[in-house]
Amino acid sequence: MSIVVTGATGHLGRLVIDALLADPAVAAGSVAAVVRDKEKAADLAERGVELRIADYSRPETLAGAFGAGDRVLLISGSEVGQRVAQHAAVIDAAKAAGVAQLAYTGVLGGDDADFDLAAEHKATERLIRDSGLPFTFLRNGWYTENYTENLAPVLAHGAVVANAGEGRIASAARADYAAAAAAVLTGPAEEHLGRVYELSGDTAWSLAEYAAELSARTGREITYRDVPAEEHLAILTGAGVPAPFAEILVDVDRAAEHGALALRTGDLARLIGRPTTPIAVTIAAALDAS
């Protein structure tokens, strides 16, 4: 039996591997990484992680990705519009292999999430339920890094621009979500099978508060410009963001304005056994790295 992490060279996947290898009860040889590019995963192999080469978009490559009794984390794909078919291929391969657990990184709110980005996650959850596989749903809220990894234009223009109104966002650091996934993959299976976890940060913040924290940390005036959705879309596409992705970002802001990203259940802190990472900590780290 192995603990298998798909998408293991992505931002979240690498952090999940880190969390697993930091657990003294987990032997590196019991961890397997499903990756498309062996070269990009060379550092994981050097740490003792088994590499399994497969591609979500090529179902035939997934036949050897999983084994009977494996506990698997399916990290959702990044190619919006293609993810349902990709995830279905993984689910089929996991079922054929007879895995003991399929954990899936969905989206906060599940079926109640009313923004476009949630549609493929909801469809994937239905496929997993219909498959009969033993599952755990990790409905991840927003990563604070979704904002802090894009600081350059904010600092250049002295403004956070969005169409989220006064909506609040209960984000957490990506490493917090990774730690939760590791906990679900290593803890007693009976505690997690069939469970749905709504994962988000302990504190919900507004973009005005985010701008104020940036101002305090940089000593510069950073304002929050709340603009109409149409204007925000034009700003994003004018800056070179592809129109389909820009439309997703604008739609997420609309959802945030109506509270879709503010849900707090405490599930994330309970799974990781500590408070979630405050936004100020992630902002400070991003500024130090910039």
Specify the 3-state DSSP secondary structure of 50: strand
Residues 6 or more apart whose Cβ sits within 8 Å of residue 259: 167, 168
H/E element holding 264?
none
Residues 6 or more apart whose Cβ sits within 8 Å of residue 135: 101, 102, 103, 104, 128, 129, 193, 194
pLDDT at 90 over 80: yes
3-142+174-201+263-276: what fold? Rossmann fold (3.40.50)
Beta bridge partners of 199: 140
pLDDT class of 78 with cuts at 50, 70, 90? confident
Please state the rounded mean pLDDT for residues 271-285: 97
pTM of the model: 0.96
Our measurement of the distance from residue 138's CA atom to the centroid of its chain's CA atoms, rounded to an integer in Å, reads 9
pLDDT of residue 247: 94
pLDDT class of 82 with cuts at 50, 70, 90? confident
For 213-269, write each residue's pLDDT tens digit. Answer: 999 999 999 999 999 999 999 999 999 999 999 999 999 999 999 999 999 999 999
pLDDT of residue 222: 97
Nearest Cα neighbor of 88 from 52, 117, 125, 119 is 125
Please state the rounded mean pLDDT for residues 69-81: 90
For 147-183, write each residue's pLDDT tens digit. Answer: 999 899 999 999 999 999 999 999 999 999 999 999 9
For 94-123, write each residue's pLDDT tens digit. Answer: 999 999 999 999 999 999 998 888 999 999
Q: What percentage of the chain carries pLDDT values higher than 90?
A: 91
pLDDT of residue 77: 85
